[in-house]
Amino acid sequence: MLKPAAIVGQVILYGAFAAFIGYFATAPKYRQIADDVALIKLSISHLGDRECRKRTPEELAKLPPNMRAPLDCPRERSDIRLEVDLDGQPAFATVMHPTGLYKDGVSTVYKRFEVKAGSHQVAVRMSDNLTRPGFNFVKEEQINLQPGQVMVIDFNPDRGGIFFK
């Protein structure tokens, strides 16, 4: 049997512990970003293009009949060049290298930009084959961000390449 003093002591200690947890569950308030700021998150994972070359008729003749593929495509993937401009100024530029033991995996980048809420001009350019000049994926758009809004820059070849959501 517990003594009444022990029961009262437990109630007081458990009550103090619950009040302590309750206070820190609601205060102080935590804000990930300031009230007048919005976020732009760049999150892209993409397989670089393969740098294939066309075999000559002489090379094809030397191969066994079952191995006569017209294109010679190595296992390696190309690096990916990516550039982001915010309001006409360069904000980020990188060359993403393929992952994997044989450099045949996906190239990935994640970058976060805190910007003032309001209207911004965003331009994203990407090239997934560095042997060709220029960029084969380009997206430029005027966006309007609300305070606390998060906009993601993503890539999906099935949706036409670079898109904002």
What does the pLDDT read at residue 98?
A: 95
Confidence of residue 52 (pLDDT cuts 50, 70, 90): confident
Residue from 158, 153, 131, 127 nearest 140 by CA: 153
> What are the domain boundaries of the chain?
1-30, 37-50+77-164
**pLDDT at residue 51 above 90?**
no
Which CATH number is 37-50+77-164 given? 2.60.40
- Quote the distance between the C-alpha of residue 100 and its chain's center: 18
What does the pLDDT read at residue 8?
A: 92
How many CB atoms within 10 Å of residue 51?
15
Q: Rg for the chain (alpha carbons), in Å?
A: 28
**pLDDT at residue 1 above 70?**
no
Residue 137, token pair as written in the block: 């994926």
Q: Which class for 24: exposed (0-12), middle (13-18), buried (19 or more C-beta within 10 A)?
A: exposed
Residue 16, token pair as written in the block: 């103090």
Cα torsion 92, 97, 100, 106 to 10°: value is 60
Which residue type occupies 61? A
**Bridge partner list, 54:** 71
Collapsed DSSP state (helix, strand, coil) of residue 164? strand
Taking the C-alpha atoms of residue 47 and residue 83, their distance in angstroms, rounded to an integer, is: 17
Taking the C-alpha atoms of residue 139 and residue 164, their distance in angstroms, rounded to an integer, is: 9
Residue from 118, 114, 117, 161 nearest 140 by CA: 161
The pLDDT tens digits for 77-117 are: 999 999 999 999 999 999 999 999 999 999 999 999 999 99
